[in-house]
Amino acid sequence: MSLLTVRQLVKRYGGLTATDHFDFDVQAGEIHAIIGPNGAGKSTLITQLAGEIRPDAGQILFNNQDITGERVEQRALRGIARSYQITSVFPEFSALQNVMLTVQAHQGHSFCFWTPTSRQPTLIEPAEHALERVGLKDRMHVPVADMAHGEQRQLELAMVLAGQPRLLLLDEPMAGMSQAESIQMTTLLHSLKGQYGIVLVEHDMDAVFKLADRITVLVYGRSIACGTPEQIRANPDVKAAYLGGDE
Ligand SMILES: Nc1ncnc2c1ncn2[C@@H]1O[C@H](COP(=O)(O)OP(=O)(O)OP(=O)(O)O)[C@@H](O)[C@H]1O
């Protein structure tokens, strides 16, 4: 069943069409990657899916319901979660405290940093669970400022998962990572496969080709191909436009 359906989406910036009659869908449990050269319109697309900017035309459906006009918070309530850069956390607080804040935001509970965490089980349990999912349970009491970049990106994912989403919008989760950190993140995302619909925008082609069930190739805001990693690798239009002749 289609979790997300995008029909003929258009976004213009003056004379530039950043999203050009774009069709796309994500099935439940599927990782659908979007790749394309710099400036192809990947970020513009993710921000429209998250509800941060409005398309000029077209439709976005979630579970067959039209959410095109809905704001970020309304989409979040439906279970659409975008990963944000780690700049939105409190660096002086621990990983656990940061994830607890996210849980609190979703549950609407009050939360005090000075109340012992043992007295806040409704926050601590889901937060610990999310940290465990991303392999950070042993590091949960470490202040975020003292964590490695790769760990901070894992934390970012834990904060997304803590909201119990159904669709994850992951915008360059490997950005700025070392090769070892990228491999670790790939393994982590692989472990989430089948449990969430995932839109993955990523420049790391090794990660994309390992993780994606399907790949859509975007060039000048337009989808030029959509298929399995094997189909995309073999597609002559994709080779010519993007991957290069030797891929
Ligand atoms: N707010 C804006 N105003 C005007 N033009 C914009 C705006 N945002 C994006 N663009 C333009 O839209 C096009 C698509 O940009 P976008 O950032 O979505 O591409 P991208 O594929 O995410 O690029 P990258 O891989 O470099 O992150 C580019 O030509 C960009 O200059």
Dihedral, 134, 139, 142, 146 alpha carbons, nearest 10: -70
Residues 124 and 200 in one domain: no
Q: Look up the CATH number of the domain holding residue 246.
A: 3.40.50.300
Nearest C-alpha neighbor of 105 from the set 89, 91, 116: 89
Is residue 197 within 8 A of residue 30, CB to CB? The reply is yes
Burial of 58 per CB tally in 10 Å (0-12, 13-18, 19+) = middle
Q: What is the pLDDT of residues 201-219, one digit of tens each?
A: 999 999 999 999 999 999 9
Nearest CA to ligand 1 atom 24: 38
Q: What are phi and psi of 160, to 5 degrees?
A: -70, -45
Do 7 and 67 share a structural domain? yes
Domain interval for residue 108 = 86-164
Do 154 and 211 sit in the same domain of this protein? Answer: no
Question: Is the same domain home to 67 and 171?
Answer: yes
Tell whether 239 and 169 lie within a shared domain: yes
Q: For tokens 């003929």, name the residue.
A: 8
Q: For position 247, what pLDDT does the model report?
A: 43
DSSP three-state, residue 217: strand
pTM: 0.91
- How far is the centre of ligand 1, averaged over its atoms, from the C-alpha of 41 (Å)? 5
Domain boundary among 117, 133, 164: 164
Residues of the chain with pLDDT > 70, as a percent, come to 91
pLDDT digits (tens, 9 = 90+) for 43-90: 999 999 999 999 999 999 999 999 999 999 899 999 999 986 555 678
Half-sphere exposure of 36 (CA within 13 A, CB side): 24
Q: What is the pLDDT of residue 86?
A: 53
Does 24 share its domain with 70?
yes
Number of domains in the chain: 2
Q: Are residues 158 and 171 in the same domain?
A: no
Could you tell me if the CB of 39 is within 6 A of ligand 1? Answer: yes
How many Cα neighbours within 13 Å face the side chain of 143? 6
Backbone angles phi, psi at 199, to 5 degrees: -100, 120
Q: Is 101 in the pocket of ligand 1 (CB under 6 A)?
A: no
- Specify whether 117 is located in the same domain as 237: no
* Strand pairing report for 197-201 and 31-35: parallel
Minimal-distance CA residue to ligand 1 atom 2 = 13
Long-range contacts of range 233-237, CB-CB < 8 Å, 24 or more positions apart?
233/209
Q: Comparing C-alpha atoms, which of 92, 91, 60, 57 is closest to residue 75?
A: 60
Cα 148 to averaged position of ligand 1 atoms, centre (Å): 29
Which residues, other chains included, contact 88 with Cβ-Cβ below 8 Å and sequence gap of 6+?
Answer: none
Identify the domain boundary among 134, 164, 194.
164
Annotate 11-76 with DSSP letters as a single string.
EEETTEEEEEEEEEEEETT-EEEEE-STTSSHHHHHHHHHTSS--SEEEEEETTEE-TT--HHHHH
Q: What percent of the chain has pLDDT above 90?
A: 74
Residues 157 and 216 in one domain: no
- Six-digit token pair at 104? 């609190």
Q: How confident is the model at residue 116 (pLDDT cuts 50, 70, 90)?
A: low
The verdict on the CB of residue 49 being under 6 Å from ligand 1 is: no
Task: Note whether 92 and 200 are same-domain residues.
Answer: no
Give the domain-ending residue among 131, 164, 197: 164
Residue 36, ligand 1, Cβ within 6 A:
yes
Residues 146 and 158 in one domain: yes
Q: Is 52 in the pocket of ligand 1 (CB under 6 A)?
A: no
Could you tell me if 74 and 169 lie in one domain?
Answer: yes
